[in-house]
Amino acid sequence: MLYAADVNVKQVKYNRDMMLILVLASGEGVTIGAHRLYAHKAFKARFLLRFALILLQTVAGQNCMYIWVRDHRLHHKYSDSDADPHNANRGFFFSHMGWLMSRKHPAVIAKGKTIDMSDLEADFIVMFQKFFYKPLYLLFALALPVLIPVALWNEEYWNSLLICYFSRYVVLLHITWLVNSAAHFYGTKPYDKTMLAVESSLVSFITVGEGWHNYHHAFPWDYRAAEYGTSFSFTTFMIDVLAYTGLAYDLKTTPDDMVVRRALRSGDGSHKFSLVEEPLEDEETNIVSEKVKSLIPSLTDLNNNEIKEEPKNIPGDDKLDKLIKNSAVTNGNLTGKVFRNANPKMEKDKDK
Ligand SMILES: [Zn+2]
Ligand SMILES: [Zn+2]
């Protein structure tokens, strides 16, 4: 009797560990593989890494890489409009999971055909997975996760099916869906207040780094998917490790000054280097407004995957660069004439 209880406790522990490993590993197949590598080309990966990521993404069971990436590129290009597959304007439930239960909006179908997928079509592993997705799904998402506990610690088939297939599948799906729902509803918009995507530390914590979503929509090519690298981002840490080994390379980031300028131009004031609201009449302020105005045409299309060149030779450009460096970014001086800390919480911290 004591022996049976002991075996049972061990089995529960093994099942729990197995489920956690499956959720985390297949989740990384989605975040590193489907999202940052394939959808956004935020870095490049050697064959071995691409193979491993596609394998893990298959375990996640969120459709084949090709369809996942097409839907996600559509989401970025037509964010929060009819052509966005999980348009957050249709409510929390729709953007979370309702979109998968509904017929696609005609705009999603029409615009979906216009998305450039040539890079994925040129990738042998992606097309192999697309062609054989059903048998691959049955093997890697269903059969192996269920059979491994049966073979290794004599788990019963039904238990294994419930824990290592259904439960972990449901858990990972809801974690992933939070990025499309909660990260488009509850949080701040330091970089672009015109979009629904928000910064959410809670979603970032749950999704190991995908909740800095206002930043991600503003700078989608950035492999960190956040301004501050690895904070709450196990995924960014993992890409850094993979880059260290040479399996990942050509990691794309965003220049600090470009981030600050975007925050000044279109943020909601919650970024730590936000512009003063009241118009100042000194020389520096005029330089800033000229610069900000001049950046607007080049930054309007930033939701696409491409980095747009900033316009060159703008009057006052050097002065603004110097100003940003001196009064804000480098020295962290938040009380300068042109910049001030618009975040009340940080204002309080500063007073301490
Ligand atoms: Zn994205
Ligand atoms: Zn989004």
Distance 267 CA to ligand 2 centre (A): 17
Cα separation, 229 vs 248, in Å, equals: 16
CA distances to 150, 262, 265 from 293, rounded to whole Å, are 64, 11, 8
- CB contact at 8 A, 160 and 150: yes
For the chain, the structural domain boundaries read 2-187, 256-351
- CB contact at 8 A, 199 and 189: yes
Tell me the CB-side half-sphere exposure of residue 73, using CA atoms within 13 A. 25
In 176-300, DSSP assigns E strands to 248-249, 274-275
* Nearest listed ligand to the Cα of residue 192: 2
Q: Which residues surround ligand 2, an ion (CB under 5 A)?
A: 197
Distance 75 CA to ligand 2 centre (A): 7
CA distances to 12, 163, 302 from 5, rounded to whole Å, are 11, 19, 59
Distance 178 CA to ligand 2 centre (A): 10
Beta-strand relationship, 339-340 and 274-275: antiparallel
pTM of the predicted protein model: 0.77
Cα separation, 98 vs 85, in Å, equals: 10
Residue type, 120: L
* Nearest listed ligand to the Cα of residue 40: 1
Cα separation, 289 vs 73, in Å, equals: 32
Each residue's pLDDT expressed in tens, for the chain with a length of 352 residues:
445 556 677 777 888 888 899 999 999 999 999 999 999 999 999 999 999 999 999 999 999 999 999 999 999 999 999 999 999 999 999 999 999 999 999 999 999 999 999 999 999 999 999 999 999 999 999 999 999 999 998 888 998 999 999 999 999 999 999 999 999 999 999 999 999 999 999 999 999 999 999 999 999 999 999 988 766 789 999 999 999 999 999 999 999 889 988 988 888 888 877 654 444 444 544 455 455 544 443 443 444 444 444 444 444 455 455 545 444 433 333 323 333 333 333 333 443 3
Distance 123 CA to ligand 2 centre (A): 25
